[in-house]
Structure 1
Amino acid sequence: MYTDKLLLVFMFSALNAQFSQTKYNFETKYIEVPLDHFASIEEPNVFNLRYLINAEYYNGTGPIFIYTGGKGDIFVQAQNTGFMFDIAPIFNALLVFVEHRYYGQSLPFGNDSFSSLKQLKYLSTTQALADFASVSKYLKDIFSEIDDLQPTVVAFGASYSGMLAAWLRMKYPYLVTGTIASSAPMFDFPGLIECDMFYEKITQVYDKNGGEECVEMIKRGWDVITALSKTKIGRGVFSELKICSKIENSKDVEKLLNWLQNIYVNMALANYNYPTNLYTPLPAYPVKVFCNKLTSYYEISNKSFIQHYSRALELYTNYTGNNLCNNINYINEDLTEIAWNYQKCTELIRPRCSTENDMFVTKPWDYEKYAQNCNLRFGVKDIRPEWTILAYGGKNLKYFSNIVFSYGDMDPWSSATVLDNVSDSIFSINIPDATNQLDLRKFDLADNNYVAETRKFHIRTITQWLENDD
């Protein structure tokens, strides 16, 4: 019955595109979940996990579309996943966005959730997946009582959330019929990819959007910063970058370099063909706009370069004009980054190195230093680089089913995602000229035909899953 409605999504989406600033509405709910789903004895400790629900299109017979929340506030993630809203009327679907524990408002110990390893130890992918499974079962049971028909669950996710959505299907196939996983870096672990692949892909994005001159200017920026950092007078020039605190020593310089590197990464991830507010407010094609600014005329001296460089960076750091200064200090990092850095120290060990083949400062992958930093920051003595591969199978995906992995060829996460079909029920979809998780965003008139075809594929595949689940 869904097949007959296939073309309606594009009529609905075209109408929705006229209201690009529309915010999606939800009812906010909470569910009690165990602090530890796997305790050997009964644990009385529970906490409230937040989820958002929209029943506007649900008629009692449709499926549940569940988004497995990743890094950050679930409300922000929901507002950036318009595809689920675009297709909900076709399937009469109930939309649910479940927050990841330790992010947003789902803090097991409130403001003390990050105070020590004792509180943080319950932050893991396995615990989060058990949360998602608990919510899925709860909703299936509730709506089966109301409508006398247990609804089918289809999972969605993007980036880290996409990994979780895929793992949810793999670990709990009796609860989740299928998964759409966009830009999911499933293989971003030691031994599965080369450590230089991510930064090489970022460089390709800048080369395609700004050309070789932009890449060379970025490389020159590192050289200028290094040269200026060697003297007190030189470090004083960094005030041109409108940093909130002074750059006084080598540790401050390292923070500055990491801050700039993260800006380049985020711009590549958010290099959409229309204005967005995923990480910060940005115009359409921010990498191209940034490169145009960076490669425009400037005077040759190091100070003049930094002034020119700062003006170009404001595309990211101060696009709205409301930012007074730029904070680069980890001391003031928000709770999201603390949680994420903890996860990167316990199970999401992602090998990163930069070489002469990319636009970043050359830096080898140093496992020992990485482990030392994790021990220093969180007291984590064993970072277990092999754990996630053991838990979820690494590249051994042929034993699973009903997952679509989609990615853009200009998506930085394509360096670690599933690039080929694995079986007749695990698909890989390449979207030319597309960046990170574009297919799960709302329909936009600026989208190319490749994105439209990918969304059609998602609709057909979900239709098949639901029909086979009847």
Structure 2
Amino acid sequence: MGSPRFAGGMLAAWFRMKYPHIVIGALAASAPILQFPGLTPCDIFNKITTSVYETAYNANCSVNIGKSWKAFETLAANDAGKKQLGDIFRLCDPINNADDLNQFMNYLEDVYGNLAMTNYPYNSTFLAPVPAYPVRQLCFYLKDLHQNDADLIHSMVSALAVYTNYTGTEKCVDYKYSSSSTTLDNKGWDIQSCNQMVMPFCSNSSETMYRTKAWNLKEYSDNCYKKFHLTPKPYDIILRYGGNNLESVSNIIFSNGLLDPWSGGGVLQAPNNQVHVIILPEGAHHLDLRSSNPSDPASVTEARRMEATIIEGWLNQG
């Protein structure tokens, strides 16, 4: 799991911490500055995401997603099944082997996280064109508990199209990111996460809708060296910015939406009276930074008002 979509908030916080003589203050929206080794449990992102899916329509949604991994593996146990899986989901690249299947399932895990991040109350195109409350829309197709693998997989096709082809214009599902992997947006983040931005991720299938995965720094490091000849520095960010030692920090607003999986690594309690923490119970990823919309929850409108007042106070002090 990795995405540069939250980096602006983190950079804003660290900019104020590092250069308080230059920066008057910072609004760090959806900034998981605690999503680093030893600071936050590695399974928090996937636990929050699962909770979002459990409550979006009904609990059957996350249960079906949890059952789908085995259904995919069973179908892809032979060549005919691999082809069938590729045809059903209209994949740009065929599934030829176990590595392809794993990459496909990794892609689906990214999709679930991205939908939770963009679970806004109106249509958006932030990570992909999606409808209002896209998690609810996806879960509508998974509202019935499926006992049959074939029925489950066909329901998954309709559900995932909420993210992969909401506009109806996509010719195929690019699960290998072959058309976008060369962009600076993706490659830049891959390099950063193999250098300083080492964020541990893990999951347990008994507690989440995800496959069980342990955090393995050696495996992660070996993969980074293979791809970029880089060796990750897992504690570099903590050493540079102090980790959760925020007592001396001032003039930062940390805002977090509780529907945003990244909120688990955010600052949710103020370390002193010069740091402001704003919680948006109905907010997805940095919803308070987006343009005003008639569908905005009241908590988001109030958060923007509070942020403007706090920033005005900083400017008046300066």
Q: TM-score range by the shorter chain?
A: over 0.9
- 2:222 maps to 1:372: yes
Mapping of 1:20-31 within 5 angstroms? none
Deviation of residue 418 (structure 1)? 0.3
Q: Secondary structure at the match of 2:94?
A: coil
2:152 and 2:281 map into 1 onto residues whose CA distance is: 35
Moved over 4 A (4+): none
Mapping of 1:293-308 within 5 angstroms? 293-295=141-143, 301-308=148-155
Deviation of residue 196 (structure 1)? 0.7
Deviation of residue 442 (structure 1)? 1.1
2:171 and 2:148 map into 1 onto residues whose CA distance is: 26
Q: Secondary structure at the match of 1:294?
A: coil
- 2:145 maps to 1:282: no
Deviation of residue 296 (structure 1)? 5.1
Among 193, 201, 206, the residue aligned to 1:344: 193
Q: Secondary structure at the match of 2:194?
A: helix
Give the structure 1 partner of residue 72 of structure 2: 225
Note closer, same or farther for the CA distance 1:272–1:331 as it changes in structure 2 (3 Å cut): closer
- 2:174 maps to 1:324: no
Deviation of residue 215 (structure 1)? 0.6
Give the structure 2 partner of residue 243 of structure 1: 91
1:358 and 1:414 map into 2 onto residues whose CA distance is: 17
2:308 and 2:97 map into 1 onto residues whose CA distance is: 54
1:192 and 1:71 map into 2 onto residues whose CA distance is: 20
Q: Secondary structure at the match of 2:254?
A: strand
Among 96, 111, 116, the residue aligned to 1:263: 111
2:140 and 2:158 map into 1 onto residues whose CA distance is: 12
Deviation of residue 295 (structure 1)? 2.5
Q: Secondary structure at the match of 2:27?
A: strand
2:305 and 2:129 map into 1 onto residues whose CA distance is: 29
Give the structure 2 partner of residue 391 of structure 1: 240
- 2:48 maps to 1:211: no
- 2:262 maps to 1:451: no
Q: Is the 8 A contact 1:405 1:428 kept in 2?
A: yes
Deviation of residue 409 (structure 1)? 1.4
Q: Point out where structure 1 has 5 or more consecutive residues left out of the alignment.
A: 1-69, 73-158
- 2:261 maps to 1:412: yes
Deviation per residue, 1:366-396 (Å, 9 max, x gap): 111101100100011x211010100111011
- 2:314 maps to 1:465: yes
Q: Point out where structure 2 has 5 or more consecutive residues left out of the alignment.
A: none
Q: Is the 8 A contact 2:64 2:145 kept in 1?
A: no
Q: Secondary structure at the match of 1:211?
A: coil
Q: Is the radius of gyration larger for structure 1 or structure 2?
A: 1
| TM-score (norm: length of structure 1) | 0.64
1:205 and 1:308 map into 2 onto residues whose CA distance is: 19
Q: Which has the higher contact order (CA 8 A, sep 6+)?
A: 2
| TM-score (norm: length of structure 2) | 0.94
Deviation per residue, 1:186-228 (Å, 9 max, x gap): 1000111111111001001111112210011101111101111
Q: Is the 8 A contact 1:237 1:303 kept in 2?
A: no
Note closer, same or farther for the CA distance 1:249–1:401 as it changes in structure 2 (3 Å cut): same
Q: Is the 8 A contact 2:60 2:144 kept in 1?
A: no
1:330 and 1:245 map into 2 onto residues whose CA distance is: 10
Q: Secondary structure at the match of 1:407?
A: strand
Q: Is the 8 A contact 2:56 2:135 kept in 1?
A: yes
Q: Greater strand percent: which structure? A: 1
1:331 and 1:383 map into 2 onto residues whose CA distance is: 24
Aligned residue-pair number: 312
Deviation per residue, 1:382-429 (Å, 9 max, x gap): 211010100111011111210000011111111000011111111111
1:205 and 1:296 map into 2 onto residues whose CA distance is: 17
1:288 and 1:442 map into 2 onto residues whose CA distance is: 22
Q: Is the 8 A contact 2:119 2:133 kept in 1?
A: yes
Give the structure 2 partner of residue 49 of structure 1: none
Among 159, 167, 170, the residue aligned to 1:312: 159
Say which is worse superposed, 347-356 or 226-235, in terms of deviation.
226-235
Q: Is the 8 A contact 1:228 1:235 kept in 2?
A: yes
Mapping of 1:112-261 within 5 angstroms? 159-238=6-85, 239-261=87-109
1:306 and 1:448 map into 2 onto residues whose CA distance is: 34
Deviation of residue 433 (structure 1)? 1.5
Note closer, same or farther for the CA distance 1:305–1:414 as it changes in structure 2 (3 Å cut): same
2:306 and 2:74 map into 1 onto residues whose CA distance is: 52
Deviation of residue 327 (structure 1)? 1.3
Amino acid at match of 1:415: G
Q: Secondary structure at the match of 2:57?
A: helix
Amino acid at match of 2:12: A
2:210 and 2:182 map into 1 onto residues whose CA distance is: 25
2:294 and 2:150 map into 1 onto residues whose CA distance is: 42
1:170 and 1:213 map into 2 onto residues whose CA distance is: 44
Deviation of residue 297 (structure 1)? 8.6
Among the aligned pairs, what percent are the same residue? 35
